[in-house]
Structure 1
Amino acid sequence: MKTLLYSYIMRNDEGFAPNPYYGVLTLATCKPQLRKNSNVVPGVWIAGWLGKNTERDGKKYGSSEHKLIYLARITDKMSIASYWEHYPQKRPKRNSGSIISNGKCNKCGSRYINANRIRENDVYYGDNIYQPKFKNAIKPEDFILVSNSNYHNDGSSQENDIKGQNVLICEEFYYFSCEKPLIIPFNILDKIRIPISQSGTGWKTIEPIDFISYVRDTVNIPSKCPILYNKLI
């Protein structure tokens, strides 16, 4: 089977979508077309890129250059109702302590940033925010929104989030953040199809082997290492 990569521009990077904590990166909210796409299955890679207007905590980190916020390989794809049951550690909690240090996630020296992403002292964190009212819940009205620290807390995103139907589970991932995105050499970047603006599913690249290898190798380079990662090979 050919290696596939779906790339998209990220509007916000709050550590919520994707959520790279507890040793596994998950995409449970936003990007409904990507999560629902029948071609986005285990084994496929997804990449979030810095755009001209990418924000975090209201601050703009946008760039006209394509820089990598994260790369992840999908290892499982499950319904939102199943995600609630199987990943209780991803449910929002108050005063849960340092969630980055839990699980099997690695952090890399000076590139590890805590800042306001966790807000450990007084907020809820985690992307498992939709509690099903019954086992096979599928419609927006079938779920209860759990209080959380993100803008999804007001309920305005519930219909759009549930429309995606699935949660993407990525056990192998490399999360750099919009604050310290990875610059990709042009000879590698030139082979990757990246949209210039927001797109539903993102743009597909076939056999992005050099790109994946380059990102994987950054875990051994202190100046380029992801702030959070889980390398399986």
Structure 2
Amino acid sequence: MKLYTYVVARDYGFAPNPFFGLCTLATCKPRIREGAQVGDWVAGTGSKKHGLGDHLVYAMRVGETLTFDEYWANPRFRSKRPNLRGSLKQAFGDNIYHRDPSSGLWRQEKSHHSHGNGQTNSANVKNDTQTNRVLVSDWFVYFGRDAVEIPARFRQGKEETVTRHGRNHLVNFRPGFEEEFIAWVLSLGQKGFRGEPIAFRRQLAKTGTGIRKQVRRSA
């Protein structure tokens, strides 16, 4: 088992997407999506910008991996397709990539990663699709803005910390560290969606009270 940890700098419920009973990582973090195998764990810590630098935003055990085309075509993940006219959970759907059957080129659905006018964002397409792999978890805990403080013993030394700064991720820990950290996560006795994404409040302020009611009903 490997443990991959990184800072969730922007948390809209998009990457990761913790909605509809599954936690998925389908965009961003191409190196993690390339390396993580079934049975490995991915954990996201909060950013200092939001006062959550020593907190756990989410942890997911990789249960299966899919290509983008498999993710798009599978009816199990239809709820993960973005709907910009729906609730925030629907608007931040991460099931956004599939190949054009005639050209073989990537199609990017109108989503959080397209331009504001709905046009394809080529930079995001290039970054996201460099790894044609989606991580899916049915055992996860997602705290979002209610992130839980990580014990000090998991934040000390180069090989004994799950927190870091910058865009890269951590994966090389001392022997036994991964098991100890996951044991702590499991000891919390919580599973699934536990709190709204950190940026939801800001997004709700932009979209108004109607969408706010929809999000609360679907929480």
Q: TM-score, normalised by structure 1?
A: 0.69
Aligned-pair CA distance for 1:188: 4.2
Q: Match of 1:161, SS?
A: helix
Structure 1 alignment gaps of length 5 or more: 54-60, 98-117, 229-233
Tell me, yes or no, if structure 1 residue 183 matches structure 2 residue 149.
yes
Residues 81, 131 of structure 1: 8 Å contact kept: yes
Partner Cα distance (1:220, 1:15) in 2:
18
Structure 2 alignment gaps of length 5 or more: 116-120, 197-219
Of residues 163, 171, 194, the one that matches 1:194 is: 163
Residues 72, 174 of structure 1: 8 Å contact kept: yes
Tell me, yes or no, if structure 1 residue 83 matches structure 2 residue 52.
no
Sequence identity percentage = 28
Change (3 A) 1:153 1:70: same
**Aligned residue number for residue 194 of structure 2:** 226
Change (3 A) 1:135 1:192: farther
Alignment of 1:21-170 (within 5 A): 21-37=19-35, 40-53=36-49, 61-63=50-52, 65-86=53-74, 87-96=77-86, 118=88, 124-134=91-101, 142-148=105-111, 150=112, 152-154=113-115, 155=121, 156-170=123-137
Change (3 A) 1:8 1:125: closer
What is the identity, as a one-letter code, of the residue corresponding to 2:114? N
What is the identity, as a one-letter code, of the residue corresponding to 2:44? G
Partner Cα distance (2:189, 2:59) in 1:
13
Of Structure 1 and Structure 2, the greater helix share is in: 2
Stretches of 4+ aligned residues off by more than 6 angstroms: none
Superimposed CA distance per residue, residues 131-189 of structure 1 (whole angstroms, 9 cap, x where no aligned partner): 3212995xxxx1211112x2x12213111011121111111101011x22110221344
Superimposed CA distance per residue, residues 78-110 of structure 1 (whole angstroms, 9 cap, x where no aligned partner): 11111111222211125545xxxxxxxxxxxxx
Partner Cα distance (1:135, 1:80) in 2:
16
Residues 26, 169 of structure 1: 8 Å contact kept: yes
**Aligned residue number for residue 201 of structure 2:** none
Higher relative contact order (CA 8 A, sep 6+): 1
Q: Match of 1:26, SS?
A: strand
Residues 90, 127 of structure 1: 8 Å contact kept: yes
Partner Cα distance (1:172, 1:136) in 2:
37
Residues 13, 92 of structure 2: 8 Å contact kept: no
Residues 194, 203 of structure 1: 8 Å contact kept: no
Of residues 172, 180, 188, the one that matches 2:139 is: 172
**Aligned residue number for residue 6 of structure 2:** 8
Partner Cα distance (2:78, 2:139) in 1:
20
Change (3 A) 1:193 1:183: closer
Superimposed CA distance per residue, residues 49-90 of structure 1 (whole angstroms, 9 cap, x where no aligned partner): 11234xxxxxxx144x42111101001111111111122221
Root mean square deviation, CA, Å: 2.6
Of Structure 1 and Structure 2, the greater strand share is in: 1
